[in-house]
Structure 1
Amino acid sequence: MELTATATPSLGFAHLLAQSDAVGKTLLAALLLMSIASWGLIVVKGWAQWQRRRRGDAFLHFFWNAHTMDEVQHELTTHGARDPFSHLSAHALHAQAHHARHGATRLADAGSASDYITRTLKKVLDEETMRLESGLTVLATVGATAPFVGLFGTVWGVYHALVAIGLSGAGTLDKVAGPVGEALIMTGLGLAVAIPAVMAYNTFTRGNRVLTGRLDAFAFELHSFLTLGQAPGAASQATPAGGAQVRALKPAA
């Protein structure tokens, strides 16, 4: 009885790691690197998205309560652009001032002030979109490939387990089920790495899509303020009873 107890190996992750060859250890290292990369991106982008939302809401609150564009310009000069909305506003105000001073002296400045501001807003929106999407490719790659890396490790482990069983000649259930079940740990590890990456990718993608839509709407209104001096349709917002009207912002001097 004592001989049987000592001869029975304890199966598990430690035994799998000890018995793995170079291929198995390489696959484990790949899954570990994928997990570190994905969790690092989740923490960094999650923090950045929270900061971006908080600062963006604060700037929009200030912008819509400002009386003139000069107040907005002073705020940007004092505190800088720390979110996509203030970044968009800073570039639009700079484009307006640049075109007012120099006009269409270069091909890059060709067209009216409205055309130049439109091109500037489009360029900044593209830059913000690329910045928001940075790192998402890594999360998508980890989510798509980690299960297959784990499955490859399982297939490799099952192959070696069956070869060892065939050479030993012991085909009993305990000799087969143990090594095969141990090889399935690799599939579980692959899923454990992929699931958080996929969930984070979907969450960040939705958040970026919502922010991009808000930026597009804000860019349209900002363009109207800089070119018309008021919000779109502000002239038709007054009610017959003398109700509230969309307030026009005075353009920056």
Structure 2
Amino acid sequence: MFTQISAAAAPAAAAANPYGLWEALEQGGVIAWSVFIILVGMSIGSFFILFSKLIEQQKVISQSKKVRQTFWRSASLKEGSAKLEKNSAYKQLVDDGITAQEHHAKLTDPVEAHDWLHASLGRSEAAINSKLNGGLAFLATVGATSPFIGLFGTVIGIYRALIKIGASGQASIDAVAGPVGEALIMTALGLVVAVPAVLAYNWLQRRNKGIAEDLSGFNNDLLGYLVSGGAVRPVSGPVAPAAKPAAAPAGAKA
């Protein structure tokens, strides 16, 4: 009997814990709930941007592998463009380069073909990089501001603890444990939201840098192909090893 009563009382005591997260939010009132909702919204937005940008980046990386394997083996740029995925970053560069080459013949003022094509391809590359970097500003903002939002909740919790101390005339644990616990929870929530956002921002930026380098290299190769009329193109397959010099006959003199 005594054992059954003790076992039933343990869950009841755990459920009656007045210092949990929801109890702290209830004690904090509108300010605590507002801080909590803002931080949760920031966290959800951060993870949404992280996974959506990872998917977008992986598509571009897969397109880069396909370009290296098949694109430069095509007989013409239009044929190579047809092999690329629709709406891909590399297809956009190729199509913009073809369009710029066609428009150059229609110009009335004398403009060097190299300058015209270089500017057109550079503008297209910048647009792709800008799209890849979209959303990263939100991650940077979350990483920079969420600790301070949590700190705001911390300050309010400490202020409420001081009010209780002043009203009761003594700093007893039961009087200040609730507000102080609320303050610490707000600090922890701010850090929990900020750290993943900062890590995600740095990781995505590093991947974008690698993608930008690949796009820049492809852009230069494409420019060389356009201004040379197709005579200059990168090697699409493995380079054959250089032939070794024939050995001299045994009786020959140096």
Aligned to 1:33: 41
Write out per-residue CA displacement over residues 18-72 of structure 1, whole angstroms, 9 at most, x where no aligned residue.
1122222221221122112111111211111112211232233221332443421
Shift of 1:241: 3.9
Aligned to 2:51: 43
Which consecutive residues of structure 1, in runs of 5 or more, have no partner in the other structure? 243-253
One-letter amino acid matched to 1:153: G
Matches within 5 A, 1:83-162: 83-100=88-105, 102=106, 104-105=107-108, 110-162=110-162
Which consecutive residues of structure 2, in runs of 5 or more, have no partner in the other structure? 1-12, 245-254
Label 1:238 to 1:189 Cα distance change in 2 as closer, same or farther (>3 A). closer
8 A contact 2:150–2:186 mirrored in 1: yes
One-letter amino acid matched to 1:59: V
Aligned to 1:221: 221
Shift of 1:137: 0.7
Aligned to 2:83: 75
Whole-Å Cα distance in 1 between the matches of residues 186 and 242 of structure 2? 71
Whole-Å Cα distance in 2 between the matches of residues 29 and 240 of structure 1? 66
Whole-Å Cα distance in 2 between the matches of residues 206 and 121 of structure 1? 23
One-letter amino acid matched to 1:97: E
Shift of 1:197: 0.7
Whole-Å Cα distance in 1 between the matches of residues 133 and 174 of structure 2? 50
One-letter amino acid matched to 1:200: A
Aligned to 1:245: none
8 A contact 1:146–1:193 mirrored in 2: yes
Give identity over the alignment, percent. Answer: 37
Aligned to 1:172: 172
Label 1:73 to 1:193 Cα distance change in 2 as closer, same or farther (>3 A). closer
Runs of 4+ in 1 over 6 A off after TM superposition: 237-240
Label 1:15 to 1:191 Cα distance change in 2 as closer, same or farther (>3 A). same
Provide TM-score, normalisation by structure 2.
Answer: 0.79
One-letter amino acid matched to 1:10: P
Query: How many residue pairs align between the two structures?
Result: 226
Shift of 1:219: 0.9
Aligned to 1:61: 69
SS for the counterpart of 1:30 is helix
8 A contact 2:143–2:195 mirrored in 1: yes
One-letter amino acid matched to 1:125: E
Correspondence for 2:232 among 220, 230, 233 = 230
Shift of 1:17: 1.3
Whole-Å Cα distance in 1 between the matches of residues 21 and 158 of structure 2? 15
Label 1:43 to 1:238 Cα distance change in 2 as closer, same or farther (>3 A). closer
Label 1:69 to 1:165 Cα distance change in 2 as closer, same or farther (>3 A). same
One-letter amino acid matched to 2:147: P
Aligned to 2:30: 22
Whole-Å Cα distance in 1 between the matches of residues 132 and 223 of structure 2? 22
| Rg (Cα) greater in structure | 2
Shift of 1:134: 0.9
Provide TM-score, normalisation by structure 1.
Answer: 0.79
Whole-Å Cα distance in 2 between the matches of residues 133 and 17 of structure 1? 36
